[in-house]
Amino acid sequence: MTKTEGLTYVVTGGCGFLGSNIVDMLVQKGTNISEIRVVDTKLDNFKSPEKKGIKVTPIRGDITDVAQMTQVCAGADVVIHTASVIDVFGLVSEGTLWNVNVKGTETLLQCCVNQDVRSFVYTSSREAVGPNSRGDPLEDGDENTPYDSSSPLLPYGRTKAAAEAMVLQWNGRRTDGGKTLHTCSLRPGGMYGGSGWTVMRIWQEFGKELFKKPQKRISRPSVKSSCPYVGNVAWAHLLAAQTLLTSPNNAGGEAFFIDDDTPAKDEGALYGELCAPIGISWDDSLVLPLPILYSIAYALSFVKFVCKPFYTFVPRLTPAVLTIVNTNFYFNYKKATRLLGYKPLFSWEESKQKTWDGLLEWKAREFDAY
| Catalytic (active-site) positions | 156
Nearest to 295 by CA among 273, 274, 314, 319: 319
243 and 318 Cβ atoms separated by less than 8 Å: no
What does residue 133 show for φ and ψ, rounded to 5 degrees?
Answer: -65, -20
Instruction: Specify burial of residue 342 (Cβ count, 10 A radius: 0-12, 13-18, 19+).
Output: buried
Inter-axis angle of helices 267-275 and 348-363, nearest 10: 60
Helix (H, G, I), strand (E, B) or coil at 243: helix
**Gap between the Cα atoms of 66 and 368, Å rounded:** 45
Q: Where are the beta strands (DSSP E) in 31-181?
A: 33-40, 55-60, 78-81, 119-123, 138-141
Nearest to 48 by CA among 81, 24, 71: 24
